[in-house]
């Protein structure tokens, strides 16, 4: 005791408190705790230092965005750099500290991109930043870069290419082959090319022919594809057409069983026998697929479908691929629509078998009903809260969901989402700092969940970090917030190798 004052022991330190007047700061919290790291209930130290992660002669510099990229053999990174002199974005594949491929893709004006890995491949969508004039002033919006497309990267250092593709062109010859069998009558035949990523182009080289019952069918002078990524070609055919109307594409096509050219060089396929009853696998839907998939502002996966949101021309639609075929997106049946309100779709994520789609201040959901995506019912989840293009926390290389919830950056704060936004927010103790951020720059926010360190790491629009330590619990009262700052501003963050945190800046090297 001193002068009749009872000492107040402080044996716990619970991080930053930035909510209301500074005089209201609880005694076990800090008014400021820049660059501290908490461990245990009553200890803290200076945050970890940083260093250059690449051990190469010329490390990457001017980093704009980093994504974790799990390939079939390693956990790697996809990195976007920006050349201010040429106004070009360059994407590199960083395999490890000493190995880098690229640039695998260079696009003028690309200052950001969306990315999702699938089966060892990487799907890349260039993002454009635009300004919209509204009644309340100008509004920054993000959508697919104008006149750009979805790209696919094989993961092997070769250049990324446009996803999807067109069918072959040219003509072929058809004749009766050796003794065999068909249902005699008028058929239409064609070929479907297949790329290294499994994409099946629309049926092409459509040619009619009247088959004979006791003969097989042989094909010659078959064109090869000018696309070097084509690895095989599949024969397709209609069943017998009793009355031909002259429209070669106006009939249902099927894959002919076992009628495959296993290369892109042979120009013949001889002695194919089949009955119409053998034609079971439909190929007609391939006519309706995008041959060039427009770039979008957000990518995600749902039920083994690739989802592309917010293209340059359609800011309130999502394009969903066929199940297991990420480059096969039907131009009619593969579209879902969020009610237009002048704001673009910013994000999408699967949770508990539901696809949640967000705008900056709206959240809706869709559920797979077993039919085509255009038939899925829309459900309004929240008409006030949504997120930004990088505002859902990623968890290592597993996407954005963490067991049974999402961590979402909304205008009101950092919230847990389990089908609804839980209040109070995780950022309740730092509400003032959060709301002081410029909403028009929320596209600069990126958040990752580091489960080994038990940190939520958030890149703020002012290019500083806000780190939430949840070792004591993922709870608004127990989480410990720590503001971190560096000599350079930080643009982006990723986690590789389970617990190695990689930061990127456009002022220093990676």
Kindly report the three-state secondary structure assignment for every residue of 131-190: EEEECCEEEEEEEECCCCECEEECCCCCCCEECCCCCCCCCCEEEEEEECCCCCEEEEEE
Q: pLDDT tens across 378-420, in order?
A: 999 999 999 999 999 998 655 554 558 999 999 999 999 999 9
Kind and range of the H or E run holding 115: strand 112-118
What are the tens digits of pLDDT across the range 65-112?
Answer: 999 999 888 889 999 999 988 999 999 999 988 999 989 999 999 999
Q: How confident is the model at residue 355 (pLDDT cuts 50, 70, 90)?
A: very high
This prediction's pTM: 0.92
Identify the residue with better confidence: 63 or 3. 63
How does residue 510 score in pLDDT terms, banded at 50, 70 and 90? very low
Q: Provide the β-strand partners of residue 509.
A: 61
Cα–Cα dist 262/195, whole Å: 11
441-487 pLDDT tens trace: 999 999 999 988 999 999 999 889 999 999 988 999 999 999 999 88
Q: Could you give phi then psi for residue 363, rounded to 5 degrees?
A: -135, 130
273 CB-near residues (< 8 Å, 6+ apart): 180, 181, 182, 216, 217
Is 204's pLDDT higher than 70? yes
Q: What are the residues whose beta carbons fall under 8 Å from the beta carbon of 321, sequence distance 6 or more?
A: 305, 306, 307, 327, 328, 329, 334
pLDDT-derived band at 1, boundaries 50, 70, 90: low
pLDDT band at 508 (very low <50, low <70, confident <90, very high): low
Cα–Cα–Cα angle for 297, 303, 91, nearest 5°? 35
Only one residue has tokens 């859902």, namely: 392
Nearest to 495 by CA among 474, 464, 462, 467: 467
216-232 per-residue burial string, b: 16 or more CB within 10 A, e: under 16: bbbbeebbbbebebbbb
What does the pLDDT read at residue 122? 96
Mean pLDDT across the chain, nearest whole number?
Answer: 92
Provide the token pair at 166: 């067109």
Helix (H, G, I), strand (E, B) or coil at 23: helix
Residue 2's pLDDT is what?
A: 64
Instruction: Kindly indicate the confidence band of residue 337, based on its pLDDT and cuts at 50, 70 and 90.
Output: very high
Answer yes or no: is pLDDT of 12 > 90: no
Range 235-266 burial, b when 16+ CB lie within 10 A, else e = bbbbbeeeeeeeebeebebbbbeebbbeebee
Q: Tell me which residue of 187, 72, 175 sits closest to 121, measured CA to CA.
A: 72
> Hunting for tokens 């201040």 — which residue is that?
361
Residues in contact with 285: Cβ distance below 8 Å, sequence separation at least 6, in sequence order: 322, 330
Q: What pLDDT digit, counting tens, does each position of 100-110 carry?
A: 998 999 999 99
């Amino acid at each position: 005791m001193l002068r009749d004052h009872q000492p107040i022991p402080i044996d716990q330190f619970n991080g930053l408190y930035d909510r209301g007047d500074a005089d209201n700061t609880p005694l076990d919290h800090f008014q400021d705790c820049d660059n501290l790291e908490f461990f245990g209930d009553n200890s803290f130290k200076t945050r970890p230092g940083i260093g250059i992660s690449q051990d190469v002669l010329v490390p990457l510099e001017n980093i704009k965005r980093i994504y974790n990229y799990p390939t079939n053999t390693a956990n790697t990174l996809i990195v976007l750099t920006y050349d201010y002199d040429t106004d070009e974005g360059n994407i590199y594949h960083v395999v490890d500290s000493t190995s880098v491929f690229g640039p695998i893709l260079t696009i003028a004006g690309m200052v950001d991109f969306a990315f999702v890995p699938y089966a060892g491949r990487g799907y890349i969508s260039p993002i454009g930043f635009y300004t919209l004039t509204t009644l309340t002033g100008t509004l920054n919006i993000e959508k697919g870069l104008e006149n750009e497309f979805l790209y696919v990267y094989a993961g092997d250092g070769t250049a990324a290419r446009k996803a999807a593709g067109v069918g072959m062109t040219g003509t072929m010859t058809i004749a009766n082959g050796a003794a065999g069998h068909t249902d005699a009558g008028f058929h239409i035949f064609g070929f479907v090319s297949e790329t290294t990523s499994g994409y099946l182009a629309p049926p092409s080289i459509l040619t009619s022919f009247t088959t004979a019952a006791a003969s097989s069918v042989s094909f010659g002078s078959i064109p090869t594809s000018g696309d070097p990524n084509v690895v095989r070609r599949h024969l397709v055919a209609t069943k017998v057409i009793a009355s031909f109307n002259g429209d070669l594409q106006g009939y249902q096509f099927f894959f002919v069983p076992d009628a495959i050219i296993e290369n892109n060089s042979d120009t013949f396929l001889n002695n194919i026998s089949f009955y119409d009853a053998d034609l079971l696998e439909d190929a007609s839907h391939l006519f309706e697929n995008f041959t060039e998939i427009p770039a979008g502002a957000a990518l995600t996966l749902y039920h083994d479908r690739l989802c592309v949101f917010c293209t340059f021309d359609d800011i309130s639609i999502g394009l969903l691929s066929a199940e297991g075929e990420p480059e096969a997106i039907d131009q009619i049946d593969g579209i879902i629509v969020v009610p237009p309100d002048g704001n673009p779709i910013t994000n999408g994520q699967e949770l508990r078998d539901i696809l949640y789609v967000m705008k900056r201040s709206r959240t809706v959901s869709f559920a797979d009903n077993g039919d085509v995506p255009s038939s899925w019912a829309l459900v309004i989840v929240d008409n006030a809260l949504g997120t930004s293009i990088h505002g859902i926390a990623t968890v290592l290389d597993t996407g954005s969901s963490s067991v049974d919830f999402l961590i979402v950056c909304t205008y009101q704060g950092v919230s847990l989402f389990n089908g609804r936004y839980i209040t109070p927010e995780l950022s309740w103790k730092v509400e003032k700092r959060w709301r002081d951020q410029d909403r028009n720059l929320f596209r600069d926010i990126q958040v990752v969940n580091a489960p080994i360190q038990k940190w939520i790491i958030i890149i703020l629009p002012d290019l500083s970090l806000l780190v939430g330590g949840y070792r004591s619990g993922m709870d608004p009262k127990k989480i410990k917030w720590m503001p971190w700052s560096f000599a350079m501003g930080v643009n982006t963050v990723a986690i590789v190798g389970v617990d190695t945190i990689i930061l990127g800046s456009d002022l220093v090297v990676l």
